[in-house]
Amino acid sequence: MQLCCRFLWTFTAFVLSIFLMSCDSVNPNSGRVLTAINVTPTSADASQFPNGQVTFTATGQFSLPPLTGPVTFTAPYTGQFIVANPTNQTIANIVSTGTGSVTVQCAAGVSATVDVVATASANNGTQTTVTAQGQLACP
């Protein structure tokens, strides 16, 4: 009987350890920290794009492989693109969003420059966010 119980405990411990190891492998981003974001283009003149619509893309640099890739703004790298319009004027608006991208168009009759900002959670166990920007020149 003791041999049976010892085997049962050993088997249970083995199965439990396999289960616990597999839990960590479910999240491929576990321990993978977003260290920087690059927004491209870094600057754009809306008059050089069809319908004045410019698509900005966020590419992340990470602490673990793959070291670069799109910032999708989904967990654990939640965040978004924004157009940093001044409080008293709308220079440009978001037309559409995609996975790691945003399309921005200048407001009619406006001639100014505005920042298009990407912000995402770093996934480092704190409230740290990573931010980068591109600029849009409106004719």
Closest CA to 30 of 62, 59, 61: 62
pLDDT tens column, 83-113: 999 999 999 999 999 999 999 999 999 999 9
CATH T-level topology, domain 31-138: Immunoglobulin-like (2.60.40)
Confidence band, pLDDT 50/70/90 cuts, at residue 63: very high
Phi, psi angle pair for 96, to nearest 5° = -160, 160
**Can you tell me the distance from the alpha carbon of 97 to that of 46, in angstroms, rounded to the nearest whole number?**
17
Within 8 A by CB and 6+ apart from 62, the residues are: 32, 33, 34, 35, 68, 69
Closest CA to 106 of 77, 84, 75, 136: 136
Higher pLDDT, 67 or 24: 67
Give me the residue spans of the domains in the chain.
Answer: 1-28, 31-138
pLDDT tens column, 34-50: 999 999 999 999 999 99
Distances in Å between the alpha carbon of 65 and those of 28, 35, 84?
10, 12, 32
Q: For the CA atoms of the chain, what is the radius of gyration?
A: 23
pLDDT tens column, 72-86: 999 999 999 999 999
* pLDDT above 80 for 58: yes
